[in-house]
Amino acid sequence: MAKTTSVMILYRDCRKNHAVNTGRYAVDGCREFMPAGDAGSPGALLCAACDCHRNFHRKDVLLRGHDDTFPCDCSSVSTTPK
């Protein structure tokens, strides 16, 4: 029997270059995509925080691990012995 893989997609920091016309690089500091509308509406593709399209936000694809959990991207170090 084939095993199914679960995927979680997260949209992180905004990478839109607001200074492209001047030849420089400047971002607005938006740290995470927050939809501006309900799922399925056109507003769901716009970020409520920075008003950019979702495509400007960094896309992370997380695959469910063997223990049925998604990997954590937190910076804390585990002190649990292995």
The pairing of beta strand 7-14 with beta strand 57-63: antiparallel
CB count within 10 Å of CB 52 equals 19
Domain, as residue range, for 39: 7-63
CB 50 within 8 A of CB 16: yes
Output the pLDDT for position 81: 46
Instruction: Note whether residue 32 is domain-resident.
Output: yes
Instruction: Note whether residue 46 is domain-resident.
Output: yes
pLDDT tens-digit profile of 21-64? 999 999 999 999 999 999 999 999 999 999 999 999 999 998 87
How many folded domains does the chain comprise?
1
